[in-house]
Structure 1
Amino acid sequence: MRHKVHKYGLGITREHRKAMMANMAASLIKHERIQTTLTKAKALRPFIEKVITKAKKAGVAKDKKDAIHLRRLALADVRDENAVTKLFNETYKQFADRSGGYTRIYKLGRRDSDAAEMALIEFVKADDPGYKKNKSRAKKAKKPAAAKPAAEEAAAPAEAPTPAAEEEKKD
């Protein structure tokens, strides 16, 4: 059975993928924005968001032992002590009011050498409102146009003739 197998394989071994995600996550934490291929960015997003959630939980933990435990779990994933320290001491504060969606991916187009789809993945700022749905579009989509009965449509032109039609009748 193929239960819980949906991950971005990236055409590499499991160990290589874990090491690559750890390196990319450390770079994202240090620089807050990295450029990579679209597939790698999509693979990195759930990985880094789970680590940020651990940092947020450690920030509000009542016991010091719980915070240390979460830090060690994050360190097992990211494997870079400086990056984890920066995340747990500084970066997690900007996500205190967000309940998810800590990263954003921008598509950049294709790379010249091999035509790989490139992307920019970055942290979402604390004061960034994000994208809102246009209310007028939402109302139009929900409210279908009311169809007129056939009798009304046929009667409407007879009741109000156009000026061009009246001139033709006079001639």
Structure 2
Amino acid sequence: MRHMKSGRKFGRESHQRKALLRSLCTSLVKYERIETTLQKAKDLRREIEKAVTLAKKLHTVKGETEAQTRGLKASKRTLLENYFHGCDDREILGRTEIKRYISNLSKENREAAEKYLEDPDKNPKPEFIVDYIPATCKRTVKGKDGKELVKERKNAQKILRVEGTVTKLVNRIAPRFESVPGGYTRIYKLGNRRGDNAEMAIIEFTR
């Protein structure tokens, strides 16, 4: 009898199950709605709800000093990273790589990104873009004497910095559930899959 044994095996060893759930958590945060088997969706819900609760706590954690607060936030962020693959913000270098990344976005995000990159000063920055450094731009740096100098950056690669999984969860998803104690996701049954007759479902965030 399976007493005190929560979770399913999925025919995998423990490290493989952890990798599977991390991949599912990463996909759910990235797309906010994914299709998978019903059993995986149920186990995924258990994991992602813990991650959202932990992300919410990052906004409220406080120590006695500023340094202690930073340390507490860093430790909680490290715990949060255990739920995902590729947690860090990503830097995309060069026009070709940036173009390839944008082409894989949804139509809405692709149009917003193309509009912003065309003229960053006039157009609003999409939420998923952290920073953009054009090939030619001016930036302020500190000299040896401490004075600020304006330097022009020419003939360099474009740099596009986009948010990672944890950044999106903490900054954009967790605040939606600030007043909600739980139940961050819902599951819709889709029926059985042709071929192996597995029960399929959609899991998505409720807000």
Residue 84 in structure 1 maps to residue 166 in structure 2: yes
Larger helix fraction of residues = 1
Distance in 2 between residues matched to 1:3 and 1:109, nearest whole Å: 30
Q: Distance in 1 between matches of 2:46 and 2:15?
A: 17
If you compute each CA radius of gyration, which structure gives the higher value, 1 or 2? 1
Q: How many Å separate the matches in 1 of 2:32 and 2:166? A: 13
* Residue equivalent to 1:18: 18
CA offset at residue 69 of structure 1? 1.2
Tell me whether 1:104 sits opposite 2:110 in the alignment: no
- In the alignment, structure 1 segments of 5+ residues that lack a partner are 126-171
Would you say 1:65 and 2:147 are equivalent positions? no
Bigger Cα displacement from structure 2, 106-115 vs 58-67: 58-67
Residue type at the aligned position of 2:73: A
Q: How far apart in 1 are the matches of 2:197 and 2:167?
A: 36
Percent of pairs identical after alignment? 45
**Does the CA contact (< 8 Å) of 1:37 and 1:118 recur in 2?**
yes
Conserved? CA contact 1:22–1:78, under 8 Å = yes
Task: Give RMSD over aligned pairs.
Answer: 1.5
> Does 79-88 or 48-57 show the bigger shift?
79-88
Amino acid at match of 2:49: E
> 20-29 or 2-11: which moved more?
2-11
Please identify which structure carries the higher strand content.
Answer: 2
Question: One-letter code of the match for 1:78?
Answer: F
SS of equivalent to 2:82: helix
Q: Given the alignment of the two structures, is residue 75 of structure 1 paired with residue 157 of structure 2, yes or no? A: no
Contact 1:71–1:88 under 8 Å retained in 2: no
Matched residue count:
125
Q: TM-score by structure 1 length?
A: 0.69
1:66 CA displacement: 1.7
Structure-2 residue corresponding to 1:49: 49
Further displaced range: 19-28 or 56-65: 56-65
Distance in 1 separating the partners of 2:70 and 2:190: 43
Equivalent residue for 2:107? none
Greater relative contact order structure (CA < 8 Å, 6+ sep)? 2
Q: 1:95 aligns with which of 177, 190, 198?
A: 177
2-structure distance, mates of 1:122, 1:2: 29
